[in-house]
């Protein structure tokens, strides 16, 4: 099976597509990816996350900005799968915009975020996506994301 036709990804494969590492790597598994169209990924939310001790210790809630970051990381995997390559050492995938972000349900330790991202458009290195993160089938967060792949000097 070629890399292009692979529809699931474990954490080892995800690490090939994202430069992020602990504590900012926020995608645990890819369930399905159709290059040029869509991707579905999981983020398992654990009480051991480094932000929980300071983000409402009496009632831990995953920060919304990190949910959006998990959606952007998922979108990055879709972008590189769509381009048919893995990021090189001098490529950076920037998160450049968020539109229509809505936070509808708190995300707590023990939850599993199911992240669905759809590619809406790409032009001159700018990628536009629609993203939804759900917990137990209920929408927790949704947003339109704008990202860019840029080459950096080494």
pLDDT digits (tens, 9 = 90+) for 9-44: 999 999 999 999 999 999 999 999 999 999 999 999
User: How many domains does the chain divide into?
Assistant: 1
User: What is the C-alpha to C-alpha distance for residues 50 and 109, in angstroms, rounded to an integer?
Assistant: 12
Find the domain containing 30 and state its range.
3-151
Nearest residue to 107 (alpha-carbon basis) of 76, 69, 73: 69
82 vs 121: CA distance, rounded Å: 12
The catalytic residue among 12, 20, 55, 59 is 55
Tell me the CATH number at 32: 3.10.129.10
What pLDDT score does 81 carry? 96
**55 is an active site residue:** yes
pLDDT higher than threshold 80 for residue 86: yes
Instruction: Find the radius of gyration of the CA atoms of the chain.
Output: 15
- Say what the pTM is: 0.94
Average pLDDT, the chain: 93
The pLDDT of residue 90 is: 85
């Amino acid at each position: 099976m070629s890399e292009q036709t692979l529809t699931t990804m474990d954490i080892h494969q995800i690490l090939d597509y994202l430069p992020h590492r602990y504590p900012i790597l926020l995608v645990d598994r890819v369930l399905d990816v159709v290059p040029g169209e869509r991707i579905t990924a999981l983020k398992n939310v654990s009480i051991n996350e480094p932000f929980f001790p300071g983000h409402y210790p009496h009632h831990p809630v995953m920060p919304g900005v990190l949910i959006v970051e998990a959606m952007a990381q998922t979108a990055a995997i879709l972008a590189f799968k769509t381009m048919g390559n893995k990021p090189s050492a001098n490529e950076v995938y920037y998160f450049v915009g968020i539109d229509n972000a809505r936070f509808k349900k708190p995300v707590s330790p023990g939850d599993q975020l199911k992240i669905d991202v759809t590619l809406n458009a790409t032009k001159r290195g700018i990628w536009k996506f629609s993203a939804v993160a759900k917990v137990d089938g209920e929408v927790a967060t949704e947003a339109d994301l704008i990202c860019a792949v840029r080459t950096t000097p080494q």
